[in-house]
Amino acid sequence: MEHLFDQDWEIVPAGGATGEAFFAQYQEQRLFLKRNSSPFVAVLSAEGIVPKLVWTKRMENGDVITAQHWLNGRELKPEEMKDERVARLLNKIHSSKPLSTMLERLGKEPFQPEHMLTEVETGLEFDLLSLPVIREALSFLQKELMEVQQDEYVVCHGDVNHNNWLLSDYNQLYLIDWDGAMIADPAFDVGLLLYWYIPEDQWESWLTQYGAELTDNLKLRMKWYVVAQTILSIQWHKGKARFHEMNHWIQYLHKVI
């Protein structure tokens, strides 16, 4: 990465699971660099959803490096997820034609409920299947599969955790870390956000800000995706031997189901 810049630039890893992200700084110039980031970043930048893309360079070895403005800012706190700006930005993402067009050009197919159910069923280990709450949750997913089918598929972020919402020092809100972007039911994003952060008696008012009505069908779809995602989280943490987190999500599943 260093050979992209004059020797005066300081470049340090930005952390993260992939090890492909870096911070670069020279005097007052600061950039966030990523290796082999998706072309999707350019559209996200143009839509004002992520910090501005400054340049893209293809290296001799075929790697593509993107540079974005590195902004001073902070993650949203859990209680700030109720902010109307969160609802508006999520609606902007879900309504964006340029975003959906780009994902389709990149070959993304709609992530149907049956795809997620297959992912859940094939990933579950036998000892987890022995837990009554897992069996009950799996039965719910299978029973309601046909009821959660619908025609509206949009660009979904896939991980609307408060850690992925960046509020800049200029009070601009962004949603970052788009590696898991998909074309899916908007209930995938909305359900996780509401279940994790918004008291149920405030769902209707939050959805009004987002631009949707709290129907029985939307409630069912949100619950379906939250249950499925929770089972996947339980299995993932178990596979990483993170048993404290695994037990946390098992207890959470008791509350949801």
* pLDDT of the chain, 257 residues: tens digit per residue: 545 555 678 888 876 555 578 888 888 788 888 887 778 888 999 999 999 998 888 888 888 888 888 888 899 999 999 999 999 999 999 999 999 999 999 999 999 999 999 999 999 999 999 999 999 999 999 999 999 999 999 999 999 999 999 999 999 999 998 989 999 999 999 999 999 999 999 999 999 999 999 999 999 999 999 999 999 999 999 999 999 999 999 999 999 99
Contact in structure between 75 and 160 (CB atoms under 8 Å): no
Which position among 6, 8, 83, 159 bears the catalytic label? 159
Structural domains of the chain ordered from first start: 2-70 (3.30.200.20), 75-256 (3.90.1200.10)
Active-site residue 177, yes or no? no
The residues, any chain, with a CB within 8 Å of residue 104's CB and separated by 6 or more, are 183
pTM: 0.88
